[in-house]
Amino acid sequence: MDVDPVSGSLVVSEPRPRPEAPLETGLVRRSRRSRALTWATYLALLVTDVVAIATAFYCAWYLRYQAQWGGDVDPVNYVPFRTYVPLQALLVVSLVTIFHLKGLYRLPRVEPGVSELSAILAWSGVAVMLVFAFTVGSRYPAESRLTFIFAWPLTTLCVMLGRQAFILFLGWLHRRGIGNERVLVVGESSLARMILQSLVNQPHLGYSVVGYLGDRPGSAFGRFLCLGRPDEIARVVSEHGVDQVIVALPSASHERVMQIVEHCRRDGLTFKVVPDLYQMSIGKIDVNTVVGIPLLGLRAEGIRGTDLLLKRALDVTLSALLLLVFAIPMALMALAIKLDSPGPIIFRQKRVGKGGALFEVYKFRSMRHNADKELQHLLRYNEADGPLFKMKTDPRVTRVGRWLRRLSLDELPQLVNVLKGEMSLVGPRPPIPAEVAQYEPWHLKRLEVPPGLTGLWQVSGRSELSFDEMVLLDIYYIETWSLGLDLRILLKTLPAVLLARGAF
């Protein structure tokens, strides 16, 4: 068993092909294809960084000697770029070597984040200083300090932009089925379900989920089908051309986990094992060491303390600003609702908030007055699963209401709920009491934070998601919350609303 130097993933050594085992030969072939894709991705990212670093250094020279930032350059002190070319090459070699040693060329599966930005900023500075030290020590005839000062931020910026473009291009290929890995998840616990949902909701990562293995073959979780029992992994892998196996079984199934791992090792399948750790996410665990012994501690669940203050500050600031920006459009919407059908402009409804507390949510009325009384007659047409009610062609929706719902404009009055502290800009969808009464125990976790105007469910399919899938996204949001996550969701909400995917 090896660690791939490019991806950092646990990879199984290729077994010797045996003529009498066509299944194993096929598995080895897929393993080789996976390795080839990994190395191709590594080389493509390496080339992207080389171009970005070289471009940044040229721009630094241009700003100093052509644009003359930092003061006029005396013609006597002018240095042509060809003199800087060896230093440019030295910077490229130094920085890509550092990036490789620091693990920044592992197969990118996520967008560049704050941790990667800080690493690139730090190591770019180190590389630039090393090259500058070389020019001073060797008395190289190109030692403009401003050029190197410009090179540091420009290198960081160009590398980050290049990597972002690379990830977007890679995602574009993955969405078209190019370079994807066919993944099988073993397990049907809430942790396994969360992995399934996360992989499917991020197609740019390049994982194509074929299904999962559990104790109820033929059953389904949302769009995912149980393809067999864990001990049928050989058959499922063969029938569905699986490239990678993700084992997400509870810690009590240690013997079964080892059997599956042994099968993957024997047949040349790449695999990953998700640590159960009492069914808690890695994001909730603090790891410390005492004389080399790892100690695991649990972080407090939910959003609290300073995090809660930051989230509340963001809510108050943005909701107040949005109410000012949308004041006139909201007045026009109110007029259109009044002219379109009789009844109040604002629809008020009891919803369940944080900790099960009831509050009154505000929305622009998009249905006929007293439409709630007609619900019982329409339940047989429900198109949603679980306790939700959804109907694409709901006859109660008015003409103006259909337009408002399509663009989610009917929810703008909920900004008042946000200002009052009953809701947040980002969070789980606010349920009605009748829905909560039908919740399973694990569904109640979504009530640990205030409900939101938007959330992961909004930017990941909205009404196209099953209820359990939506709850899993809510739980993932609660367990991995950060201010950056809220900002990313808010930025993704606008295109989701404009495309109206899953809205009705």
User: Given the DSSP bridges, would you call strands 207-213 and 224-228 parallel, antiparallel or unpaired?
Assistant: parallel
The DSSP code for 226 is E
- As a whole-number percent, the residues of the chain with pLDDT over 70 amount to 79
CA distance linking residue 8 with residue 492, whole number of Å: 30
Residue 290 is predicted with a pLDDT of 52
Domains of the chain (ranges plus CATH)? 39-175 (no CATH), 180-279 (3.40.50.720), 306-499 (no CATH)
Q: Read off the tokens for 459.
A: 């930017």
Q: Which residue has the higher pLDDT, 461 or 203?
A: 203
CA distance linking residue 102 with residue 96, whole number of Å: 10
Residue 352 is predicted with a pLDDT of 95
Residue 15 is predicted with a pLDDT of 43
CA distance linking residue 470 with residue 464, whole number of Å: 10
| pLDDT tier at 497, thresholds 50, 70, 90 | low
Indicate the average pLDDT of the chain. Answer: 81
pTM of the model: 0.56
For tokens 């809220």, name the residue: 486
CA distance linking residue 391 with residue 89, whole number of Å: 62
The DSSP code for 109 is -
Helix axes 306-325, 483-499, angle to 10 degrees: 30
pLDDT tens, position by position, 139-167 = 898 878 899 999 999 999 999 999 988 88
Helix, strand, or coil (residue 270): strand
| pLDDT tier at 85, thresholds 50, 70, 90 | very high
Q: Read off the tokens for 207.
A: 């994982």
Residue 48 is predicted with a pLDDT of 95
pLDDT tens, position by position, 379-429 = 777 666 666 666 777 788 899 988 898 888 999 999 999 999 999 999 999
CA distance linking residue 52 with residue 37, whole number of Å: 22
Report, as an integer, the average pLDDT of 424-452.
90
Exposure string for 39-70, b = 16+ CB within 10 A, e = fewer: eebbeebeebbbebbbbbbbbbbbbbbeeeee
Report, as an integer, the average pLDDT of 96-101.
92
Exposure string for 172-205, b = 16+ CB within 10 A, e = fewer: eebeeeebbbbbbbbbbbbbbbbbbbbbbbbebb
8 A C-beta contact, residue 270 and residue 11 = yes
Residue 127 is predicted with a pLDDT of 94
Q: Which residue has the higher pLDDT, 474 or 268?
A: 474
